[in-house]
């Protein structure tokens, strides 16, 4: 059963309209959307699904940690690929109950562009169809096994106002060199402040400034092998 609603959380109106200048201008490279504003692709040109599984699922020790009510939070919703990959893993693991997923996004994609992007991953079709249907109606989607909330706005303000705590973070902004706002020490400190005890974070980035900011925020930081041509990535656990 699909239920879609508009709600207010911490003063953030989730059903807000999005101005035309907030929608990203896209270029397409071999079926992969590239954000013109940041000159960066939304997912790996090699295999976005494999990258998401390696970085965000394996990096957060998922699905082994899944349990009813497990809460993933994310910086950068993009195409929705990470959410759908997590939902697919949740269902494959046979975990009873509901997965919670909250994403912070300043420049939300049009749903039609999300659908075009996700067409590259037919194995996610069962997850994508109801989520995309819900997003056409608003930024909060509720399925039998998923509660998804996309909070539209600048994460430097919206995360501070959020009253939730995540068990795992997907840090998936564009490259720190091109989108430094999503990697600022102050924002990563807010990430730590909105992480449950024993919670984790993972990102494709291995930039020294990112690792230092996570460590200063209270995370134990580890560099691991990255995906594809990326030599390293970063995982972190709240100390």
**166-218 pLDDT tens trace:** 999 999 988 999 999 999 999 999 999 999 999 999 999 999 999 999 999 99
pLDDT digits (tens, 9 = 90+) for 27-47: 999 888 999 889 888 898 889
Residue 20: per-residue pLDDT: 66
> Cβ distance 109 to 78 under 8 Å?
yes
Closest CA to 106 of 207, 37, 10: 37
Preceding omega of 150 cis (within 30 degrees of 0): no
Query: Counting Cβ atoms within 10 Å, is residue 16 exposed (0-12), middle (13-18) or buried (19+)?
Result: middle
Q: Give the bridge partners for 135, in sequence order.
A: none
Angle of CA points 43, 235, 103, to nearest 5°: 50
Round to whole Å and give the CA distance between 129 and 1: 13
User: Helices (H) and strands (E) in the chain — how many of each?
Assistant: 7, 14
Of 8-17, 72-81, 100-109, 122-131, the range with the lowest mean pLDDT is: 8-17
Residue 22: per-residue pLDDT: 80
CA distances from 231 to 146, 207, 224, 227 (A): 33, 11, 8, 7
- Tell me what the pLDDT averaged over the chain comes to: 91
Helix (H, G, I), strand (E, B) or coil at 148: strand
Scanning the chain, the segments in alpha helix (DSSP H) are 48-52, 81-93, 111-118, 125-135, 155-161, 185-193, 208-216
> Where residue 25 falls among pLDDT bands split at 50, 70, 90?
confident
Closest CA to 210 of 58, 39, 75, 44: 75
Q: Give the bridge partners for 234, in sequence order.
A: 203, 223
Helix (H, G, I), strand (E, B) or coil at 88: helix
Residue 129: per-residue pLDDT: 97
């Amino acid at each position: 059963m699909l239920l879609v609603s508009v709600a207010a959380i911490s003063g953030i109106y989730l059903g807000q309209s999005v101005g035309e200048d907030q929608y990203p201008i896209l270029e397409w490279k071999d079926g992969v959307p590239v954000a013109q504003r940041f000159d960066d692709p939304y997912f790996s040109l090699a295999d976005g699904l494999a990258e998401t599984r390696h970085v965000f699922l394996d990096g957060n020790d998922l699905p082994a940690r899944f349990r009813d009510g497990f809460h993933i939070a994310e910086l950068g919703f993009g195409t929705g690929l990470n959410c759908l990959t997590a939902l697919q893993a949740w269902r494959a693991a046979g975990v009873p109950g509901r997965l919670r997923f909250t994403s912070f996004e300043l420049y939300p994609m049009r749903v039609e562009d999300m659908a075009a992007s996700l067409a590259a991953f037919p194995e996610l079709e069962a997850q994508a169809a109801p989520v995309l249907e819900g997003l056409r109606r608003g930024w909060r989607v509720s399925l039998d096994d998923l509660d998804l909330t996309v909070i539209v706005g600048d994460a430097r303000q919206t995360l501070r106002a959020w009253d939730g705590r995540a068990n795992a973070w997907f840090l998936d902004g564009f490259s720190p060199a091109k989108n430094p706002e999503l990697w600022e020490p102050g924002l990563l400190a807010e990430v730590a402040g909105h992480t449950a005890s024993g919670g984790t974070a993972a990102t494709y980035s291995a930039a020294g400034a990112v690792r230092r900011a996570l460590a200063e925020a209270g995370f134990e930081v580890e560099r691991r092998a990255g995906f594809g041509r990326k030599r390293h990535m970063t995982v972190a656990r709240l100390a």
